[in-house]
Amino acid sequence: MSLKVSNLSMKFKDEFHLNDVSFEMSKGKIYTIIGRTLSGKTTLLKTIAGLTNPDSGEMSLDGVDFGAVPVWKRQVAMVYQQFINYPHLSVFENVAFPLKQRKMPRPEIDTRVRQALEQVGLQGFETRKIQALSGGQQQRVALARSLVKEANILLLDEPLVNLDYKLREQLREEFKNIFSAKASENAILIYSTTDPVEAMQLGGEIIVMDEGRILQQASAQEIYENPKTTKVAQITNDPAMNLFEGEVVDSTLVLTSSIHLDLPPHLAALPRGKYTFGIRASGITLDSDGFEFQIELAEISGSETFLHLQHAQMHVVGLLDSVQNFDIGQTVTAGIDSKSLYAFDKSENLVASPYGGTK
């Protein structure tokens, strides 16, 4: 089974929600759509589900015009970021609802509901009311109701975004196992998120969207190692990849009047001239042999500290693998790992990567 989308476009009040979107997805795979808010992710999922109609373009499933299939006939299930459940029904009744609508025999409903609840770790909760569940449990009920339909295509629109950090961490790993099992049944799973960590952990194919367009589609590893543009590099990293101007002069990389680095081997083939360079926060750390920076902000996240640093016109975020306190305006010395630098041309396209050298 394959889903093919060709040149989908949708405009509202002169703004593109989808702009010439094309891709192909195969059965048995997990696809993650990542993009910032209003990038077109939800619109794309709703279009596949048949909840919105594009202005132009085509969709086909196994060569059959999918856009012409009525919503109620499409073998599609969708999980939203809100906990959409029926509060007056029990957990069992919530999950069984779509099967009852199809008038399935009671024994089959019972079997499929219990299997779905076991998949999401809610066995024994059958008689509970929705109001008695935590946020994470309510989202599991919504997922179980989608799984029980045994749809060919499962769409998940930022299903963990409204949960607290710890619960997201827990469910992310559980969902990955559930999705892998579902994909092995030859379904197509499409998961949307704004979280780069979530996208990379789910693995599979990643589609990067921005302003209704697809910027890059590739494996999680390829997206990480070779982001096609500066925008992809920022969207797929948390914090966003540091970007700053610099110039290649002979065998030296000049970033500011006082920050000069030896040109690393993977950048050696670059023609001399100006570029935009990128580096992840992990490539900038405190180093007594480094360069002087002023601290603009010290941000503690779990067991890590993100340092927002400034040197002349250069603003970057560095990473410490520990919790440390700093004062705003404090001077520190930080090193820049030149072996981790990316280079982008004037059109913001990748021209050199630490993983693949010059493009």
**Which pLDDT tens digit goes with each residue over 287-304?**
999 999 999 999 998 889
* Per-residue pLDDT tens digits for 93-127: 999 998 998 889 999 999 999 988 988 888 999 99
d(CA 292, CA 259): 9
Residue 348 CB partners (closer than 8 Å, separation 6+) = 229, 230, 231, 276
323, 297: one domain = yes
Are 193 and 246 in the same domain? no
Kindly indicate the confidence band of residue 77, based on its pLDDT and cuts at 50, 70 and 90: confident
Q: Are residues 118 and 210 in the same domain?
A: yes
Using the predicted structure, report yes or no on whether residue 337 has a pLDDT greater than 90.
Answer: yes
d(CA 141, CA 176): 16
Which residues constitute the domain of residue 58? Answer: 2-228
Same domain, 247 and 197: no
pLDDT at 224: 95
Whether residue 163 has pLDDT greater than 80: no
Confidence of residue 131 (pLDDT cuts 50, 70, 90): confident
Picking from 167-181, 272-286, 321-335, which range would have the lowest pLDDT averaged per residue? 167-181
CA distance 19 to 215: 11
Residue 237 lies in a domain: no
Instruction: Please write down the long-range contacts of 236-241, taking CB distance under 8 Å and 24 or more positions apart.
Output: 236/34, 236/196, 236/199, 236/200, 236/206, 236/208, 237/196, 237/280, 238/195, 238/196, 238/197, 239/281, 239/306, 239/317, 241/278, 241/279, 241/280, 241/342
Kindly report the backbone phi and psi dihedral angles of residue 185, in degrees, each rounded to the nearest multiple of 5, phi listed first.
-85, 15
- Give 202's pLDDT tier (boundaries 50, 70, 90): confident
Give the model's confidence band at 182: pLDDT under 50 very low, under 70 low, under 90 confident, else very high.
Answer: low
Position 337 in a domain: yes
* 135-141 average pLDDT score: 85
Could you tell me if 28 and 113 lie in one domain?
yes
Cα separation, 228 vs 219, whole angstroms: 12
Whether residue 49 lies inside any domain: the answer is yes
185 in the same domain as 75: yes
Question: Does residue 235 sit within a domain?
Answer: no
Q: pLDDT for 227-265, tens place per residue?
A: 999 999 999 999 999 999 999 998 999 999 999 999 999
Q: How far apart are the first and last CA of the chain?
A: 34
CATH number of the domain within which 257 lies? 2.40.50.140
- The residue among 172, 205, 228 that closes a domain is 228
Which of 42, 56, 44 shows the shortest CA–CA distance to 7?
A: 56
Predicted confidence at residue 196, as pLDDT, reads 93
> Does one domain contain both 202 and 280?
no
Same-domain pairing of 36 and 157: yes
- What is the reported pTM? 0.89
Q: In whole angstroms, how far apart are CA 211 and each of 10, 115, 216, 336?
A: 11, 39, 13, 32
* Last-in-domain residue among 228, 250, 268: 228
Examine the domain organization and report whether 216 and 266 are in the same domain: no
Q: Is residue 32 part of a domain?
A: yes
Mean pLDDT of 45-53: 93
HSE value, Cβ hemisphere, 13 Å, CA-based, for 153: 25
Q: What is the pLDDT of residue 215?
A: 97
Q: Bridge partners of 16?
A: 11
The domain tally of the chain equals 2
Contact 294, 310 (CB under 8 A): yes
CB 226 within 8 A of CB 355: yes
pLDDT per position as a tens digit, 293-335: 999 999 998 889 999 999 999 999 999 999 988 999 999 999 9
Band (pLDDT 50/70/90 cuts) for residue 160 is confident
Same domain, 300 and 209: no
Q: Do 345 and 281 fall into the same domain?
A: yes
Same domain, 21 and 170: yes
